Amino acid sequence: MRQVAAMAGISNPYLSQIERGLRAPSEEVLRAIAESLNVSADLLRGDEPPDGSADVVEAIQSDPDLTGSQRRSLIEAYAALRQVTVKRRRSRGHR
């Protein structure tokens, strides 16, 4: 975790407090940590991917040919498109 703290520009003690739930990171710190881990800030917040999408998200995250920014963008776009489809189906009475 020292590397994550260094890449995110925060101290190791501060990162440790975040990990233990003693402190809540600011949005800026959360984004910096997410970027250093090559994941989205939403994922770090505990927002789960939509049902049935874990395999897609995992495939995007494990693709070595994508940058961290590209991974985050693809995951966010995928989640948004799925959300639109789910809302449309629910409004029509489908599940």
- Give residue limits of the domains in the chain: 1-37, 42-95
> For residue 65, what pLDDT is reported?
95
Question: What does the buried/exposed string (b/e) look like for 11-32 if buried means 16 or more CB atoms within 10 Å of the residue's CB?
Answer: eeeebeebeeeeeebeeebbbb
> For residue 40, what pLDDT is reported?
73
- Helices 27-37 and 12-19: crossing angle in degrees, nearest 10, is 100
Total number of residues shown for the chain:
95
Instruction: Determine the longest span between alpha carbons in the chain, in angstroms.
Output: 51
Helix (H, G, I), strand (E, B) or coil at 38: coil
List per-block mean pLDDT (blocks of 10 residues) for the chain, which spans 95 residues. Answer: 72 86 88 80 67 80 90 85 79 68
pLDDT digits (tens, 9 = 90+) for 36-55: 877 777 777 766 555 667 78
> For residue 46, what pLDDT is reported?
67
